[in-house]
């Protein structure tokens, strides 16, 4: 199976950004961030970087603002390490899929608890 070039570039960008974040950025708004995925367009002009962070909505917004303000530095670092002519534009987006999954899990637990409560009342 052959991988698309954009997928390979996305993997490389993911590794580079994780490395940058592990060294730390000088922005107090950026907390403990996990990069959950990178999507690169087929023409390699845009990279969407999905992240999660522990905290409330304010922490999420602050972290996204911090990452977007540091994207020039991050993009320059990516440009040094990638061997392509043009470095993709970066867009950081909060990954809502984990929140969605947690919400579904809590609803399923709630249904299971109600179901067990109804069964014990029948006995």
Q: What is the pLDDT of residues 20-64, one digit of tens each?
A: 888 877 778 887 888 999 999 999 999 999 998 888 888 888 888
What lies within 8 Å, CB to CB, of 48 at 6+ separation is 38, 39, 40, 91, 93
Q: pLDDT band at residue 2, thresholds of 50, 70 and 90? A: very low
How would you write 29-41 as a 3-class SS string?
Answer: CCCCEEEEEEEEC
Least confident segment among 1-10, 49-58, 71-80: 1-10
Indicate whether 120 belongs to any domain.
Answer: no
The CATH number covering residue 24 comes to 3.30.300.20
Indicate whether 114 belongs to any domain.
Answer: no
Indicate whether 121 belongs to any domain.
Answer: no
Total domains present in the chain: 1
Indicate whether 72 belongs to any domain.
Answer: yes
Indicate whether 27 belongs to any domain.
Answer: yes
Domain of 12?
5-95
Taking residues 72-83, report their average pLDDT.
Answer: 90
DSSP 4: P
* Total-model pTM: 0.75
Indicate whether 48 belongs to any domain.
Answer: yes
């Amino acid at each position: 199976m052959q991988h698309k070039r954009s997928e390979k570039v996305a993997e490389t960008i993911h590794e580079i950004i994780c490395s940058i974040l592990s060294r730390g950025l000088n922005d107090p708004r950026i907390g403990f961030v996990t990069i959950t995925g990178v999507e690169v367009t087929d023409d390699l002009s845009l990279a969407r970087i999905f992240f999660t962070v522990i905290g409330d909505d304010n922490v999420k917004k602050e972290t996204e603002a911090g990452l977007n303000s540091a994207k020039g530095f991050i993009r320059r670092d990516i440009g040094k390490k990638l061997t392509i002519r043009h470095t993709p534009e970066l867009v950081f987006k909060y990954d809502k899929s984990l929140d969605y999954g947690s919400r579904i899990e809590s609803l399923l637990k709630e249904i299971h608890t109600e179901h067990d409560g109804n069964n014990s009342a029948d006995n």
